[in-house]
Structure 1
Amino acid sequence: MAFPRKAVSIILLCFTFMLSHHLTYARRRPNFKPGPWKRAHATFYEGDSRSFGGACGYDDVSAQGYGMETAALSSTLFNNGQSCGACYEIKCTDSPQWCKRGQPSLFVTATNHCPPNFNLPNDNGGWCNPPREHFDIAYPAFSHIAEYKAGIVPVEYRRVPCRKKGGIRFTITGNPYFNLVSVWNVGGTGEVVSVLVKGDDKLKWTELKRNWGQKWETDQRLIGESLTFRVRASDGRYSTSWHVVPKNWQFGQTFEGKNFM
């Protein structure tokens, strides 16, 4: 049965309005806000800035702007690498003997994975075993909230927005047949759930695959094209960095795009 022309016009008008409303909502999605407080435990690990990147693929957390305020997350929090780059506020609690006076807040970025140790019980050495929520914090940061001798302390934590200087960074490594893009210095949620790339000539929008942590791969040919990156965060917002990579780019270079607030 054919619809009257007027009815078709009304349906099209409603569809157009709904689509426009959806796109407007997507553009106006509110900035990421702090989450609720939760309970966990924290330990610490030692090393230099190059040892704190680990499973997230950050080569040098100090040089890349994360400083020593970094933490390795238990598997429950790590979420197979999606939590890399997420930011947390942490307070030492319920341990007056070991917590620093005044319960100061510590702000850390997730840059590593704390693997489980199933040879030890969850409450005696297997601190990062599922389903525990646990932070293994770089010692220079841990020392701001608790004493060295404590070893392990109960904490309260919450997700907070990541405040970054400058834009999202894209470091491209690999070869003409395999491209690995490291995405870092991400604001907002700090978590990246998808990365797309587009060239200015032959390369159409292409979705990269998560290789590990915040390293993303594609076997599409990127050489010789000016590149645009589109990053989608875990809160649904996206940031498009148009033509941030010039045609004459080289492997090993880093480029700065548009960041989340």
Structure 2
Amino acid sequence: MSLPLLSSLSIFILFTLFSITTSHYSSSSSSSSGSPQSSSSLSEWRSAHATYYAAVDPRDAVGGACGYGDLVKSGYGMATVGLSEVLFERGQICGACFELKCVDDLRWCIPGTSIIVTATNFCAPNYGFTSEGGGHCNPPNKHFVLPIEAFEKIAIWKAGNMPVQYRRIKCRREGGMRFTIGGSGIFLSALITNVGGSGDIVGVKVKGSRTGWLPMGRNWGQNWHVNALLQNQPLSFEVTGSDGRTVTSYSVAPKDWSFGQTFEGKQFE
């Protein structure tokens, strides 16, 4: 069942006006890396609904409201999800990990299964329908829109609007956080991907070899920016997750970095 996930361009316009390492499928007792989650990293199970979309064009896997671009190249693959407005938190939730399982429908649920997915997109409300009708992503609904490849890990595709339970879990990633540097001149942006721990980011600072620590603002999704001339300086980044933990990666980008390059830093443990 297809629902209106936002493209990169449309979410950029929306946010301007108002100023989906790889996650893996798992059993309900496993993390995305295959090792058990500690009890301290799990939140309580909550009720929601889920539908799916089937990508009919390879470009459908590119873009999204979190700014990750090509989800396969970014390392997220099909283990991704678009969130309804009450869950999306204006993009702050981007990068967070959720575990979902099918419930209450023995006809369509695949028993004993769950999936772990990363928030990468936004499902826009459709006020032409009621929340109980076709407006699945309308407030106050808690709704997840999954690629069909993920949906079919927990339910038969004929299920349609499926009752599920979900919980936030700790993100486990392979390798370090990745920083893709964009911009031009004095405008520098950083797309931050492959974030472990809480997965979502609440604060970023950047430092050149000739500057102090400069706070970056959230441009949209997990794209952060600052107005500063930082060329010809090695760059360090300080990233703070929603759980309050901070990781500092010194000299991530060498002195001769260029716009468009991606560099790997430290990771939340």
Tell me if TM exceeds 0.5: yes
What amino acid is the match of 2:75? Answer: G
Greater Rg over alpha carbons, structure: 1
Aligned residues: 230
What secondary structure, in the 3-state scheme, does the structure 2 residue paired with 1:141 have?
A: helix
Cα distance in 2 for partners of 1:31, 1:231 equals 25
Q: Tell me the CA shift for residue 118 of structure 1.
A: 1.0
> Aligned residue for 1:43?
51
> Aligned residue for 2:196?
187
Q: Tell me the CA shift for residue 145 of structure 1.
A: 0.8
Give the alignment's TM-score, normalised by structure 1.
0.85
- Where in structure 1 are there 5+ consecutive unaligned residues? 1-29
Superposed CA deviations along residues 137-170 of structure 1, whole A, max 9, x for unmatched, are: 1111011111111111000010011110100000
Q: Tell me the CA shift for residue 49 of structure 1.
A: 6.3
What secondary structure, in the 3-state scheme, does the structure 2 residue paired with 1:54 have?
A: coil
Q: Tell me the CA shift for residue 83 of structure 1.
A: 0.5
Cα distance in 2 for partners of 1:120, 1:54 equals 23
Cα distance in 1 for partners of 2:54, 2:112 equals 22
Give the alignment's TM-score, normalised by structure 2.
0.82
CA RMSD of aligned residues (A): 1.5
> Aligned residue for 1:63?
73
What secondary structure, in the 3-state scheme, does the structure 2 residue paired with 1:56 have?
A: coil
> Aligned residue for 1:96?
106
Provide the identity percentage: 50
**Deviating 4+ runs (over 3 angstroms):** none
Cα distance in 1 for partners of 2:78, 2:101 equals 17
Q: Tell me the CA shift for residue 62 of structure 1.
A: 1.1
Superposed CA deviations along residues 102-133 of structure 1, whole A, max 9, x for unmatched, are: 23011100000001111100011111111111
> Aligned residue for 1:82?
92
What secondary structure, in the 3-state scheme, does the structure 2 residue paired with 1:127 have?
A: coil
Instruction: Kindly report which structure 2 residues correspond to 1:182-261, keeping only aligned pairs within 5 A, or say none.
Output: 182-201=191-210, 203-261=211-269
1:245–1:196 Cα change, 3 Å: same
Higher helix share: 1
> Aligned residue for 1:131?
140
Cα distance in 1 for partners of 2:230, 2:50 equals 42
